[in-house]
DNA sequence: ACAAAGGTTAGCAAATATGTTAACCTTATA
DNA sequence: TATAAGGTTAACATATTTGCTAACCTTTGT
């Protein structure tokens, strides 16, 4: 029930900001999720790499915050090697007040 | 509480079957989700293609059941053009009796 | 029968992701 | 100080996806 917008509110309401933030947050999330799943499975980057027949630098790249070119084939291999399921879901866009997301 | 396994139970319990089914179901799902999201937005393949500056054959390929090479950049563009959010989530593997999935 | 709209498929060049090597950085530990 | 483990980054060749064209198939409407 906030009445007045703070400086940050105005800044973060900007379309350009929102667009960029959403884009980067998406990626940040995936990299972080991979790292989490990997740690959860008690694997080093090198150990995970070995399981899917690649190298640790490829894993590091995928866990990098700035990466943007994920492919599902590799993403699936990583998920399986970490003993997790990878779920891809199209959902209805979140509302402005960020309340709920409805499956289509 | 079923006591005896039916023929189908045995068939579907096989490792090889399970592996293939999971793989194909994954893809089937994405293609279907794209088609659904697209219809939801009242778009033809050609109209959606135009929005993301590609051609209808690329969309058709992505909606195909057999396709296996999805890339996140394109998947994201499609989702946005259909007015939907694309969610990618690593979850704990489902249990054998297929009960619940827990977020890591 | 014809045309148009919506969708599918094959084939190919161009763009992009992937695998790999080698160098580098920290941190921990002998 | 040295050594090893874990991780990051750049650069490059190879593999794969993507965009594109053109052909084809159905269905619908005239």
pLDDT given at position A100: 41
Q: Which of B83, B86, B38, B48 minimizes the C-alpha distance to A22?
A: B86
Q: Which of residues 48-67 of B touch A (CB under 8 A)?
A: none
| CATH assignment at residue A52 | 1.10.260.40
Shortest CA to C1' contact from A64: nucleotide:
D8
pLDDT given at position A57: 98
Distance, angstroms, CA B44 to C1' C5?
A: 10
Question: Domain for residue B101, yes or no?
Answer: no
Per-residue tokens: A90: 């199209």
Question: Domain for residue A91, yes or no?
Answer: no
pLDDT given at position B92: 82
pLDDT given at position B99: 38
pLDDT above 90: residue B46: yes
Question: Domain for residue A74, yes or no?
Answer: yes
Tell me: the pLDDT tens digits for B16-31?
Answer: 666 666 666 665 589 9
Three-point CA angle B60, B66, B67, nearest 5°: 60
A35 to chain B: closest CA residue: B90
In chain B, the number of structural domains is: 1
pLDDT given at position A1: 47
Give B72's contacts in chain A (Cβ within 8 Å): 30, 68-72, 75
pLDDT given at position A66: 84
Q: Does residue A82 contact residue A40 with C-beta atoms inside 8 Å?
A: yes
Tell me: the pLDDT tens digits for A7-61?
Answer: 555 555 666 666 666 666 665 589 999 999 999 999 999 999 999 999 999 999 9
Per-residue tokens: A63: 């866990």
Question: Domain for residue B37, yes or no?
Answer: yes
| Shortest CA gap A69–chain B (Å) | 6
A30 touching chain B per CB within 8 A: yes
Q: Token pair 């994920």 is at which residue?
A: A70
Q: Does residue A51 contact residue A38 with C-beta atoms inside 8 Å?
A: no
pLDDT given at position A3: 44
More confidently predicted of B60 and B65: B60
| Rounded Cα gap, residues B28 and B64, in angstroms | 8
Tell me: the pLDDT tens digits for B6-16?
Answer: 445 555 566 66
Question: Domain for residue B17, yes or no?
Answer: yes
Contact between A70 and B71 using a beta-carbon 8 Å cutoff: yes
Average of per-residue pLDDT across B78-97: 84
Give me chain B's average pLDDT, please. Answer: 80
Question: Domain for residue B57, yes or no?
Answer: yes
- Containing structural domain, residue B64: 7-81
Per-residue tokens: B103: 């977020």
Three-point CA angle A48, A54, A58, nearest 5°: 80
Crossing angle for the helix pair B72-81 and A72-81, to the nearest 10 degrees: 110
- Give the contacts of B50 (CB within 8 A, at least 6 positions apart): none
pLDDT above 60: residue B103: no
Query: What dihedral do alpha carbons B39, B90, B22, A47 form, nearest 10°?
Result: 140
Question: Domain for residue A24, yes or no?
Answer: yes
């Amino acid at each position: 029930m906030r009445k007045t917008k703070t400086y940050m509110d105005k800044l973060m309401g900007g379309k350009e900001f929102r667009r960029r933030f959403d884009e980067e947050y998406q990626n940040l999330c995936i990299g972080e999720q991979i790292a989490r799943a990997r740690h959860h499975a008690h694997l080093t980057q090198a150990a995970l790499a070995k399981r899917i027949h690649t190298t640790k630098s490829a894993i590091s790249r995928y866990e990098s915050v700035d990466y943007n070119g994920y492919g599902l084939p590799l993403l699936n291999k990583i998920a399986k090697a970490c003993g997790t399921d990878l779920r891809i879901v199209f959902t209805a866009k979140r509302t402005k007040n960020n309340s709920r997301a409805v499956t289509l």
